[in-house]
Amino acid sequence: MLRFLCLSLLIALAGPVAAQPQTPLPQHRQAADAVWEVMDLDSLAPVLQAEAVAEGEEMAATLFQGRGTGRWLDRVGAIHHPARIKALFLAGMAAAMPGTDPAQVRAGLDFYRTGFGQRMLALESSARVAMLDGDVEAAAREALAQARRRGDPRAAQIDRLIETADLIEPNVAGGLNAAIAFSRGFQAGGGFPMPMTEAEIIRDAWAQEPQMRAETEDWIGAYLFLAYSSLSDAELDGYIAYAGSAGGQALSRLMFAGFDAVFGQTSHDMGLAAASEIRARPL
């Protein structure tokens, strides 16, 4: 499963998005383009690709065991190509535009047009890249654990941020949806020795929920603790206030729609590709 999104993107998982028309209007696509630009998602997309390839290497060790076409990592990289991530994201966000309040979305986006907002994005991006290194990730997890044990106020702030922005439940739900999408793709590609029913696929995904929840809580906390280590308490309090604001939540719902489109499709495609590798035949 792909790692979790930066906070500015994690907040996007805070609420459901109603079904929207499949063909967005030009102004909705333009608004989606503006979000992509202001949020500097061109910088995030290659990181998501790198994370996917790294996790693809781990999958190969357990799924293929020396079998396959030898093109697995190339396929993983292609599925998560930055240009493809962008196209999927923009389509998903544009389709959700009609269900949003434009004034609130503008207010949410205006925060990231400020110097402080851009600084937050830079901190999140740097931490995200750093945590591609397993040693850095382990150190961040341990640093947060120690801070909580000694009652560090910064650890309490991080916990309050996670609660205010509602980062755990939506990420667990997103992980479950991605697991289901992967299994559906795997099924479509003939990867299961015995075909599974839809009920079995869903039940299998739910069996992963406790482990997924624990990993979500640990990783998000460690990531935020690392990302915001240079902020003053007042600065972090200001960001917490933004995360819970109407503008922040409106922007978040749009971004959820964008990344829901991304991870729904890429997870399904990963399932198809994995099935193909196991069967050792080209897609």
Q: Domain limits of the chain?
A: 7-279
Predicted local distance difference test score (pLDDT) of residue 116: 96
- Confidence band, pLDDT 50/70/90 cuts, at residue 255: confident
Contact between 255 and 35 under an 8 Å Cβ cutoff? The reply is yes
Predicted local distance difference test score (pLDDT) of residue 282: 47
- Confidence band, pLDDT 50/70/90 cuts, at residue 19: very low
Give the CB-side neighbour count of residue 62, counting CA atoms within 13 A: 4
Amino acid identity at 217? E
Share of the chain above pLDDT 70, in %: 88
Q: Is the pLDDT of residue 12 over 80?
A: no
pLDDT, one tens digit per residue, over 182-199 is 999 999 999 988 999 999
Our measurement of the distance from residue 11's CA atom to the centroid of its chain's CA atoms, rounded to an integer in Å, reads 10
- Confidence band, pLDDT 50/70/90 cuts, at residue 200: very high
- Confidence band, pLDDT 50/70/90 cuts, at residue 216: very high
Contact between 67 and 278 under an 8 Å Cβ cutoff? The reply is yes
Amino acid identity at 264? G
Predicted local distance difference test score (pLDDT) of residue 69: 67
Q: Work out the average pLDDT over 79-100.
A: 92
Amino acid identity at 162? I
